[in-house]
Amino acid sequence: MEINRFENRVWLSSPTIYGEEQKFVQEAFDTNWIAPLGPNVDAFEKEIAEYMGIGHGAATSAGTAALHLAYKLAGVQQGDIVLCSDLTFSATVNPISYEKAIQVFVDSERDTWNMDPRALEIALEKYKGRVKAVALVHLYGSPAKIDEIMELCQRYDVPLIEDAAESLSATYKGKQTGTFGKYNIISFNGNKIITTSGGGMLLSEDEEAIKKARKWSTQARDNAPWYQHSELGYNYRMSNVLAGIGRGQLLHLEEHKAKKQAIYRMYEEGFKGLPVSMNPYLEYTDPNFWLSCLLIDEDVVASGKVTPEKVRLYLEEYNVETRPVWKPMHMQPIFEGLDFISYEESSVGKDLFERGLCLPSDVKMSEETQKQVIELIKELFK
């Protein structure tokens, strides 16, 4: 099959907008309610909470803002330890530094690429009495081993903060990710499964905690007729306009999930017989496959014949966007010197980073385009 360079870029994961968003946004303009907060924000919080099956939500300007509020609600302060997923984007762990607390990075396991409960137990024992929270990420939309991790959190009396930024709509034993933690967050960044352009949400069953977060996120204004502040606040609330986009997007969430799953299955089928595997998942979970990822066999990468970087550069020649798997946090220069805990002799996350590649997973990608991407990748293994 001769494949020409794609005229239109094949994206990793880009926004897909419909007509419903405009209806909600237009309502905000028609009522002149374009400032932060408003009817769309209230409705979006309610609709997301109902969809996920959790009590309360606070819409924020970003998932990072929601995470910062979650760490504050957990009481994270200077010098405290927070045990974090190592294989993630830095937004998960950056807000810990805002509070001058200390990250300890917990390695991945190979069944899901998520936090290894065995390594978590080692970390909880090592820092017993100092751990303020466990921050768990569901990588690329595949749920982690939640039962094992929750049991450890309960045994050591440490709150779980669930970062479901990548896994909105994914379920674990029939229950939505982002509902297991004491505090949970989701993201509506432009590349996520649904978007508000930029935004996020903090979720919890604790109504008082969500009320507290809403206050903090509106500059912590006291209930007074004048501007009075008794504690530090932030400008973290979502705008009424962006919440309108989110309400329209939410109507298509299950549709997007089905498309992402179909994309994963087509890659899985297309790569049969190649020395590669796809990002794994547990049989009792229903991932959203936000991004489909390729893992090249160890001996092939070691030989130098085909590496993730060679695949990336080759596809770039055809105007196809790919991205390396997240570089683990313990390998980031900014976090040099912080503790990293692994159950295995060598870092699983480092191995996945060195052998993995995120593939185009855009819901607008046609089957024909995806077939051509698959053929291009197969060419490299001949």
Q: What domains appear along the chain, each with residue ranges and CATH number?
A: 20-250 (3.40.640.10), 253-380 (3.90.1150.10)
Least Cα distance to 353 among 118, 163, 86, 125 occurs for 86
CA distances from 255 to 12, 69, 251 (A): 18, 30, 8
Predicted local distance difference test score (pLDDT) of residue 32: 82
Predicted local distance difference test score (pLDDT) of residue 36: 74
- Please list the ranges in the chain whose pLDDT falls under 50: none
Report the predicted TM-score, pTM, of the whole model to 2 decimal places: 0.96
Contacts of 37 (CB under 8 A, 6+ apart): 218, 237, 239, 240
Strand partners, 154: none
> At 248, which helix (H) or strand (E)?
helix 240-250
DSSP 3-state assignment of 32? coil
Predicted local distance difference test score (pLDDT) of residue 2: 83
Main-chain phi, psi angles of 105, to 5 degrees: -95, 130
- Phi-psi group of 341: left, alpha or beta (phi > 0 → left; psi -120 to 50 → alpha; rest → beta): beta
DSSP string, 279-300: PP--TTEE---SS-EEEE-HHH
